[in-house]
Structure 1
Amino acid sequence: MNKTSSSYILWLGCLLQVYGLHRFYNGKIATGLLWLFTFGLFGVGQLIDLFLIPDMVDDYNAKLRAKMGLSAAGVPLSDPVVATQTIQVNPKEQLMVKLLKAAAAHGGKLSVTQGVMDTGATFAQVETTLKEMVKSGYVGVDNHPATGVVVYKFLELSS
């Protein structure tokens, strides 16, 4: 990337009778040659360039970024954005999802024992999680008519 300060230093080449160096530096070869052979358009062009140098540098840098496939901020335009942060899922929430899937497999009803078998969690973890789900209103509690086992009924899954 070109610097404005470097362009101004090259502009000072006119003091040594070498005009247009700042234009060569900023990729303006044709006008650089014109400035070189006409003494900076007889000094007038050289003087006007004193005010145009910042724009020349910006234009050159923008063209260079575009050629390299970068945005104005220097971010690659063609490469896909890759997530650098991973989302941490709460283990309790993972257990809730596993219990939900287990309930779906059992017709919307799930006992603690079935939950333990399907998720691999402990009895205490499954029972605590199911009780929390009851408090949230998504799950109801009932007893199996023949065995009396506590059954958690997932209201949206059961018919």
Structure 2
Amino acid sequence: MKTGDSQLPAKPPNKVSSAYLLWLGCLLQLNGLHRIYNGKIVTGLIWLGTFGLFGVGQVIDLFLIPRMVDDYNTKLRAKMGLSPYGVPLAQPAFVTNVIKPSREQLMVRLVRAAAKRGGKISVTQGVMDTGASFIEVESTLKEMLKTGYVGIDNDPDTGVIVYTFLEM
């Protein structure tokens, strides 16, 4: 991070082990802390005021905690512009000094990248070779598909979608 950036560091994802430790707060009559930790503020306060829905809700949550943590982390990643697997979906807003190539320039870069690979390229390979985002590369390849410059197929070994440049 550059010195002048006003961006705060990203919040680390919640951990299942931390949620279970907070669940143990029920032993001190602090029911619902695990829900508040996972962004379920209203139900966490209800659990706190009703002793975990009279203990029944607290016991049921023992089995629901992993799902709560996954849901919270998925929402957190979406806010940060990441896919559920942590892959950036778009260029971060704070990135400056990056000149975005025009649509035509991106098409030329994708053609060159495919030429290096025998006329075939996947979206991931396009991202690696051009530096553009997954969304930009995929939408550009689909645009080229519609115009007839590119064909689409699946790799027989991996099943990955491969775009084939028909003139190569």
Listed as ranges, the gaps of 5+ residues in structure 1 are: 86-159
Other-structure match for 2:35: 23
Q: TM-score, normalised by structure 1?
A: 0.51
Of structures 1 and 2, the larger Rg is shown by 1
Partner residue, 2:63 = 51
Residue 76 of structure 1 aligns with an amino acid whose one-letter code is P
| Cα distance between partner residues in 2 of 1:29 and 1:15 | 20
Which residue number corresponds to residue 42 of structure 1? 54
Q: Paired residue for 1:76? A: 88
CA distance in 1, matches of 2:15, 2:130: 32
Aligned-residue identity in percent:
75
Say which structure is richer in helix: 1
RMSD: 1.8
Amino acid in the other structure paired with 2:42 = A
Give the stretch that moved more between structures: 73-82 or 62-71.
73-82
> CA–CA distance in 1 between the matches of 2:40 and 2:22?
14
Task: Give the paired residue count.
Answer: 85
Task: Report the Cα distance in structure 1 between the residues aligned to 2:76 and 2:36, rounded to whole angstroms.
Answer: 15
**Where does residue 12 of structure 1 map in the other structure?**
24
Runs ≥4 residues deviating over 3 A: none
State the Cα distance separating 1:84 from its structure 2 match: 7.6
For 1:77-156, what aligned pairs fall within 5 Å after superposition?
Answer: 77-79=89-91, 81-83=127-129
Looking at structure 2, the residues matched to 28 and 52 of structure 1 have their Cα atoms a distance apart, in angstroms, of 13
- 1:82 Cα deviation after fit: 4.5
Aligned to 2:129, what secondary structure does the other structure show?
coil
CA distance in 2: counterparts of 1:9 and 1:38, whole angstroms: 20
SS at match of 1:83: helix
Runs of 5+ unmatched residues, structure 2: 1-12, 92-99, 101-126, 132-168
Q: How big is the shift at 1:83?
A: 2.2
